[in-house]
Structure 1
Amino acid sequence: MSDLPTPLERARSLSRDRGLTEQADQHAITLESILAVLRSGRLADAAARREATEIASSALIRARSVHEQQESVLEPVAEAFSRLRTELRPLIRSGPLQVQFAEPPARGRALPGPVAREARAISRTAVLSLMDRADAARARIGWDCDGRNLLMEVRDDGGIAVTAHDDTLRPIVERVAALDGTMDVETTPGWGTTLRIEIPLDPPSAALTVEGAEELTDREKQVLRLVATGISNQRIGDQLGITANTVKYHVANLLRKYGARTRAELASIAHSHDAHSPSAQTR
């Protein structure tokens, strides 16, 4: 029988998962930006190729930058926001969505590295989801800091009513929950939607470990086991006789309790728990 993973090994595994998620986010933005340039009717073929090459080259330089992986680095809020603008600039320049940026105060409290990266990931995800919906022509992204929390706002002029339970917002809901933050969605049909997000800058209380899984409710344990199989919220709800929205609620609680930031991390924790449970070891 193999030894149980140590807390340090589990932490490193979660860090690797988060790194992969961050890389996937960056790659998605790069590919969307290149496609937007190549599809643009405003650029000649030669100019489009030059622009696409520049985007790809810049992405390679960012990918090779090791300082992004340092968890202990603090980023001034204005600098972190400026990096977001830089990341989104190629996509906005050639894409159909007009994005306005509301600058944070220059002297706001510096953001812990993980918070800054997740905030950028949330903002990128919001922009990509708006482009997928294709009902919005303009969006506004703003950050602020009250000394204890990063305050984020994403506003669009889309005509489709959106709620926090919509699948388009699920990745954002899960990321915010994993950071022990809160999100409010205000939508007015015909006028647009506003997301207001608060993310604490200080670490949340100690997360539940795999060994502490008995602190979960019976329903949460059922949902956790099914999340590990990779099936959708709708299918989980069908199997448990509950709605997909109720499943989303339980998943958000599980992310918060385990300190995980994605469903992939949650699935990894569930697999680890099952593999080292007494019943699994006696098979």
Structure 2
Amino acid sequence: MDATPTIDSPALRRAQQEGARALSELGDRHAVTLESLLAILRSDRLDDRAARNLAIEAAASALVQLRVASDQHLDAVLEPVVGAFARLQSDLRPLERFGDLDLQFVEPPTTGRALPSEVAHAARAIVRNSVLAIVDDGTARRVRIQWDCDGLNLLIGIRDDGRGELSVRDDALRPAAESVVALNGDLAVSSTEGWGSAIDIRLPLDPPAAPEPLGDVSELSTREREVLRLIVGGSRNREIASTLGISDNTVKFHVSNLLRKTGCRTRGELASLAR
């Protein structure tokens, strides 16, 4: 009997989700590397030869990290919180070394509970995305990053001294916000004009169980299946409304029902499980 999992296998879906998370994290690393290379090439403190040598060094280092990143990230089931934070520091140091950003790290307590690998990976990606959003704004010169544990949650605080206009609705923060929601966490942003912004994040240390395939757990109406098919195709609410001849509010109602029935937390997760 052929034991190869079919396209509808829950095991295969979980493997695909793990692969997508790994690719997302590698993409975040590339973004940090590119920001570092741009900072080197734009630096007024380096002549052409020095800038070229530093750029080569940074690119070579990134290539080495790329070759071992998958094994380093996926082998461990649990990561000591201090070790996970140290890896975050290593990821972000190039932004400080080659740019004008002053990164301040407040380490978590050594007695903090070890992090499940999914939470550790997500936490690093969330912080990297948040810091890159601050870098993109271009006004912050100092960023303070702090991790703490309360036994049940990883608590993350990020503070900057920029112009204080960052909002949780900013597109630059969307990847971080979606990752937080996927882990049943919370993300809040508070900004004071002229003084900077603060990002506070709570991540439960026990990640939620992966949703089951839609066909196994869902009794969807005909209309809900039509809406789901269009979501999988990448349509937004207004496009779905136009295609089906219904109102935007009716589309929102069906999407809400789909998320509730399937246990999904985002449209992206819903589309992934439906494929």
Is TM-score (shorter-chain normalized) higher than 0.5? yes
Greater shift, 161-170 or 20-29, is seen at 161-170
| 1:172-191 → structure 2 map (5 Å cutoff) | 172-191=176-195
Deviations 1:95-135 (A, max 9, x none): 23322111111221111122111111111101111111223
User: Quick one: structure 1 residues 145 and 213, their matched pair in 2 at CA, closer, same or farther if it must change by over 3 Å?
Assistant: same
Letter in 2 for 1:189: E
Q: For 1:241, which of 233, 240, 248 is the aligned residue?
A: 248
Q: For 1:39, which of 27, 38, 42 is the aligned residue?
A: 42
Instruction: Answer yes or no: is the 8 Å Cα contact 1:101–1:142 preserved in 2.
Output: yes
Letter in 1 for 2:39: A
| 1:28-67 → structure 2 map (5 Å cutoff) | 28-65=31-68, 66-67=70-71
Aligned pair 1:139/2:143, yes or no? yes
Counterpart in 2 of 1:257? Answer: 263
Instruction: For structure 2, list consecutive stretches of 5 or more residues without a partner in the other structure.
Output: 1-5
Distance in structure 2 (CA, Å) of the matches to 1:192 and 1:268: 37
User: Quick one: structure 1 residues 41 and 114, their matched pair in 2 at CA, closer, same or farther if it must change by over 3 Å?
Assistant: same
Instruction: Answer yes or no: is the 8 Å Cα contact 2:185–2:204 preserved in 1.
Output: yes
Aligned pair 1:122/2:126, yes or no? yes
How many pairs does the alignment contain?
262
Could you say what secondary structure the match of 2:11 adopts? helix
Instruction: For structure 1, list consecutive stretches of 5 or more residues without a partner in the other structure.
Output: 273-283
Q: For 1:170, which of 170, 174, 190 is the aligned residue?
A: 174
Deviations 1:187-224 (A, max 9, x none): 22222221111111113255353225637899987775
Under a length normalisation based on structure 2, what TM-score does the superposition of the two structures give? 0.81
Letter in 2 for 1:107: T
Residue identity over aligned pairs, in percent, reads: 46
Greater shift, 172-181 or 47-56, is seen at 47-56
Deviations 1:24-48 (A, max 9, x none): 1111111111111111111122222
Instruction: Answer yes or no: is the 8 Å Cα contact 2:73–2:121 preserved in 1.
Output: no
Under a length normalisation based on structure 1, what TM-score does the superposition of the two structures give? 0.79
User: Quick one: structure 1 residues 55 and 209, their matched pair in 2 at CA, closer, same or farther if it must change by over 3 Å?
Assistant: same
